[in-house]
Amino acid sequence: MQFKSIALLGALASIAFADDDVTTSSASAASASSTLSIASGCSLSSATATAQADLNKYASCSALKGDLTISGSLATASLSGVKAIYGSLIINNATLLTSFTADSLNTITETLDLKSLTILDTLALPELATVGSINFVTLPALDSIQLNTGLTQINSIYISDTSLETLDGFDVTSLDTFNVNNNKNLNSIDSKLENVKVALEVSYNSNDVEVAFDQLQWANNITFNDVSSVSLSSLQKVNSSLGFINTSLTDIEIPNLTAIGGSLTFVSNNDLEEIELSNLTSISGGFDISNNTALSVIDGFDSLETVGGAIIFIGNFTNASLPSLKRVSGGVDIESSGDLDCDSFNSLDKKGSIQGDSYVCKGASTSVSSSIASTSTSSKASSKTSSSASGSATASSSSASSSSKGAAGSVGVQTGSILAGVAAFALSLI
């Protein structure tokens, strides 16, 4: 009888759906994008589990739809059987939680959000491969994650204030943002990333963190703070800005980099002795090398032809040369406490290649000889005018040095705003 079989179906509904799920999901193992069906009882607009019993209710759900939050005074938690969450998995404020396991979980379409889990030391996600966003914040006891399959599809990674020692298992090759900061035990990052569409930032992890992004070909923004080595051997293009701030790098070499779409910054890298970006031909924004106390020579930019913003070099270097430079759209401010020869920049200025309204080049000896001319005009406009006037004169060493003297006379006026500008830029990167 028809009624009877419908009643029977109803009684067996959960079993029937569970069987259906198993069939569908074995197909989905091959392709993360295929969608599992949602059995009744597995659709939650949002649910909060505060005990293991709450999680056991989902054991027959291959897929959960909605956001699942785990919170409260659980000591351990496990989500068994669930292969996909079409939504977010949030674990927060579970200060007694030491262990979380999701033995079958392969996909989370939205966010995996783990926050303020002060004694969590075991995180087992053996099957996890696809996640919208990873957000791990304040997990001070977490030193490793079990990721047997490995994460291959993620849009965004934010990992802050954990005890992670490696990022092994984060095997993604392309994403929007990668921000890993303040993980004090993180000693090395060896990434498979090939491109980063929005921003890549590695900052304030272990003081000795060694960072390798050797498959990375392009990234929008890149910022490194407080790293001890960086390898970017495949990097060809930075679409926006590239910055090295307050690192302990001794040297940096990026052989394949040819173009930077925004600014290039090296600020307060106290051990930095050598920068070698020998194939870089253009920087579309500003170019700042400031306060790198061990940097005595700036000579690693043999191919650099154009700078779209201003050049600011401040430090204790004795030689700065940009032999291929043809055009600087902004001003040039070079100030060294070392014995710097300004001749090559003076001749660029005379050729009209420095298009901004200020040109300053000041070294220890230039500043000494310019004291003779210290009563000369000191406004930006007149120093610019006097140097272009001398540019129309026959090039001789005496006219070159007089242009450098006139420029040096305006240094005192400009230094404050230059430093303020560099400091503001550095703050914007932090």
Ligand X SMILES: *[C@@H]1O[C@H](CO)[C@@H](O)[C@H](O)[C@H]1NC(C)=O
Largest distance between two CA atoms of the chain: 113
Residues 352-411, interacting with ligand X (CB under 6 A): none
What does the alpha-carbon distance between residue 187 and residue 183 come to, in Å, rounded to a whole number? 9
Give the binding range for ligand X (CB under 6 A) out of 57-65, 119-127, 217-225, 385-393. 217-225
Closer to ligand X by Cβ: residue 352 or 412: 412
Told to check if 415 binds ligand X by CB under 6 A, we report: no
The CA–CA distances, whole Å, from 105 to 83, 215, 305 equal 4, 28, 52
User: Could you say which of 182, 197, 273, 377 contacts ligand X (CB under 6 A)?
Assistant: 197
Closer to ligand X by Cβ: residue 128 or 289: 289
User: Could you say which of 28, 246, 269, 390 contacts ligand X (CB under 6 A)?
Assistant: 246
Give the binding range for ligand X (CB under 6 A) out of 133-141, 161-169, 333-341, 380-388. 333-341
Closer to ligand X by Cβ: residue 170 or 213: 213
Contact 135, 108 (CB under 8 A): no
* Helix, strand, or coil (residue 315): strand
Told to check if 218 binds ligand X by CB under 6 A, we report: yes
The CA–CA distances, whole Å, from 248 to 160, 312, 322 equal 20, 21, 25
User: Could you say which of 163, 321, 377, 382 contacts ligand X (CB under 6 A)?
Assistant: 321
What does the alpha-carbon distance between residue 335 and residue 331 come to, in Å, rounded to a whole number? 13
Closer to ligand X by Cβ: residue 62 or 160: 160
* Helix, strand, or coil (residue 190): strand
Contact 321, 277 (CB under 8 A): no
Q: What is the closest distance, in whole angstroms, from the C-beta atom of residue 333 to ligand X in the complex?
A: 13
Give the binding range for ligand X (CB under 6 A) out of 16-24, 30-38, 213-221, 304-312. 213-221
Q: What is the closest distance, in whole angstroms, from the C-beta atom of residue 395 to ligand X in the complex?
A: 19
Closer to ligand X by Cβ: residue 290 or 410: 290
The CA–CA distances, whole Å, from 225 to 181, 229, 277, 354 equal 9, 11, 19, 31
Told to check if 240 binds ligand X by CB under 6 A, we report: yes
What does the alpha-carbon distance between residue 237 and residue 259 come to, in Å, rounded to a whole number? 5
Structural element, H or E, at residue 351: helix 343-351
Closer to ligand X by Cβ: residue 221 or 390: 221
What does the alpha-carbon distance between residue 136 and residue 134 come to, in Å, rounded to a whole number? 6
Q: What is the closest distance, in whole angstroms, from the C-beta atom of residue 376 to ligand X in the complex?
A: 26
Q: What is the closest distance, in whole angstroms, from the C-beta atom of residue 293 to ligand X in the complex?
A: 6
Residues 69-98, interacting with ligand X (CB under 6 A): 72-73, 93
Told to check if 256 binds ligand X by CB under 6 A, we report: yes
Neighbours of 268 (CB within 10 A): 16
Neighbours of 323 (CB within 10 A): 10
For residue 63, give the amino acid letter.
Answer: A
Closer to ligand X by Cβ: residue 187 or 279: 279
Told to check if 190 binds ligand X by CB under 6 A, we report: no
What does the alpha-carbon distance between residue 170 and residue 182 come to, in Å, rounded to a whole number? 18
Residues 102-141, interacting with ligand X (CB under 6 A): none
Contact 107, 79 (CB under 8 A): no
Told to check if 241 binds ligand X by CB under 6 A, we report: yes
For residue 204, what are its two tokens?
Answer: 């304030």
The CA–CA distances, whole Å, from 57 to 38, 50, 54, 61, 376 equal 14, 12, 6, 8, 84
Told to check if 291 binds ligand X by CB under 6 A, we report: yes
Closer to ligand X by Cβ: residue 229 or 337: 337
Closer to ligand X by Cβ: residue 17 or 204: 204
Closer to ligand X by Cβ: residue 128 or 242: 242
| Burial readout 275-311 (b: 16 or more C-beta within 10 A, e: otherwise) | bebbbbbebbbbbbbbbbeebbebbbbebbebbbbbb
Closer to ligand X by Cβ: residue 381 or 423: 423
Q: What is the closest distance, in whole angstroms, from the C-beta atom of residue 267 to ligand X in the complex?
A: 5
What does the alpha-carbon distance between residue 422 and residue 96 come to, in Å, rounded to a whole number? 45
What is the binding site for ligand X (CB under 6 A)? 72-73, 93, 197-199, 218, 220-221, 226, 233-234, 237, 239-241, 246, 256, 262, 267-268, 278-279, 290-291, 293, 296, 299, 316, 319, 321, 337-338, 341, 419, 422-423, 426, 428-430
